[in-house]
Amino acid sequence: MNYKLIFFIILMSFFIFPSVGYAQTAKIRTVVIDAGHGGKDPGAVGKKAKEKDITLGVAKKTGDLIKKKYPDVKVVYTRSSDVFVELMERARIANRNNADVFISIHCNSVANAPKTCGAETFIMGEHRNSANLNVAKRENASILYESDAQDNYDGFDPNSTEAYIAFSFIQSEFKQHSLELAELVQNELVGKAKRADRGVQQAGFLVLYKTAMPSILVELGFISNPTEEQYMMSKEGQDYLASAIYRAFCTYKTNYEKESVELQHEVVKTHETQTQPAVDKNHGVVYKVQFATRNRKLDNPQSVYKDLQNVDYYEHNGMFKYTAGCFATKAEANNYMKEVVSKGYDGAFVVKFENGIRK
């Protein structure tokens, strides 16, 4: 029995929830943008560029776009120059500012595979494969530049596969909103910035697990790929990448604030007992719970997912995404989403359709 691992898991259970609480408000008022690495920590290094410089450029461009569009939204940077900021401090900055959203920006890298390419967006969670684990290990290695890392992270070794088992115990109350934002960012990176799609993923990132709000980590592309490195170095490339994150934030803000209004209205209806009319999934706006993604279409999805209601699917980027339920309001879908999660579909989240088309 590994007592060190058990102790680490128990310790994490005490400080997994930061001291600054997060309460859902009706509006997005503050966003924290985190440019990965910095100062003595260069991050991944390509033939010409360093990750820390690319992330800072994209982070500041993203913030500028948000400030121009929403003067009432407070934009906070974890760093606005080439300085080193500890991973724990980045989360503290977000918590101190009572941020509604935390966006951490990074570049990916893989040794001896210069053709590997594409963008991917992560949320906090258990890694599902070795590739996700390797990304988390590389980003978490920033703590090796911290003089008091042993005290701050209780001896956590970012290169130890065993240590990441502890992250499987983390259940974030912000997962649904983090997933929504991550999907929006990934869709923009693929659709508008024309990046190869590596999907929305989960992994154990130290910079995310102590943030008390919906949080994502964006890997813009591979600095180890000469073509992507040049793109991410260029003004045009950074403009596209920043605008992709910005557009996703705008959509998330709109959806979130609309949802808040719907939830408030739903409170008034909680005591109503009338039978609701059937919802036509092909006309008007409806909400469903997405719970699975497959690379092939199932012949009879309802027979496979017998424990779910109204199982359906839609195709996106060559993948088949499966949904359950069909509701007139997002509040109703949110309630059913909790039931879906309780049945073991941990990554389930609510999606919106209009006239049968995913929005």
Structural domain contains residue 115: yes
Total number of domains constituting the chain: 2
Predicted confidence (pLDDT) per residue in 18-30, tens digit: 434 444 567 899 9
- Among the three residues 253, 287, 312, which one is the final residue of a domain in this structure? 253
SS3 303: helix
Predicted confidence (pLDDT) per residue in 272-323, tens digit: 444 444 566 667 899 999 988 776 777 778 877 888 899 999 887 667 888 9
Name which of 92-101, 139-148, 184-193, 244-253 the model is least confident about. 139-148
Structural domain contains residue 38: yes
- Are 310 and 238 within one domain? no
Could you tell me the two tokens for 45?
């290094």
- Are 285 and 226 within one domain? no
Structural domain contains residue 82: yes
d(CA 59, CA 79): 9
- Are 50 and 193 within one domain? yes
In Å, what is the CA distance from 80 to each residue of 52, 94, 251, 269, 276? 11, 14, 25, 46, 52
Structural domain contains residue 14: no
- Among the three residues 221, 253, 285, which one is the final residue of a domain in this structure? 253
Structural domain contains residue 292: yes
Q: What is the pTM of this model?
A: 0.68
**Domain, as residue range, for 279:** 274-358
Structural domain contains residue 21: no
| Mean pLDDT of the region 256-275 | 56
Name which of 144-148, 263-267, 288-292 the model is least confident about. 263-267
Q: How would you classify residue 199: left for phi > 0, otherwise alpha for psi between -120 and 50, otherwise beta?
A: left
